[in-house]
Amino acid sequence: METYKGCKIPKELYYDIENQVWYRLEEDGTVTVGATDVGQTRAGRMVNVRIKPPGKHVPKGKPIASLESGKWTGPVPAVIEGEIVERNEKLFDQPDLINDDPYGEG
């Protein structure tokens, strides 16, 4: 795993650098999405997360989620068109999991 200024950057992921989002293509064809370590570090501790519900169709470029920290609020845009099949329910009660483990639990 590479690091940049103390932030982790796994080589096996795809990145939307402009939006500080990572993507991982799973074996079953689904795509897992998350905030990058660099992005969460710059934004600060997350205080609120909103994620579209399973079954929701999302066009490319439209938000699949939105994140809010003490100093930043913004959308997480879809890099491809698709349907939400699952979401990380833990984030609703613990949005700062994104800060603690951006490539795992968050």
The pTM of this model reads: 0.90
Q: What is the rounded average pLDDT of the residues 29-36?
A: 95
Contacts of 28 (CB under 8 A, 6+ apart): none
Cα–Cα dist 50/72, whole Å: 14
Whether the predicted pLDDT of 1 surpasses 90 = no
**Rounded distance between C-alpha atoms, residue 67 and residue 75, angstroms:** 6
* Domain boundaries 2-100, CATH class: mainly beta
The model's confidence at residue 53, banded by pLDDT at 50, 70 and 90, is: very high
- Cβ pair 73, 15 in contact under 8 A: no
pLDDT band at 6 (very low <50, low <70, confident <90, very high): confident
CB 82 within 8 A of CB 31: yes
Would you say residue 105 has pLDDT above 90? Answer: yes
Model pLDDT, residue 3: 87
Residue type, 26: E
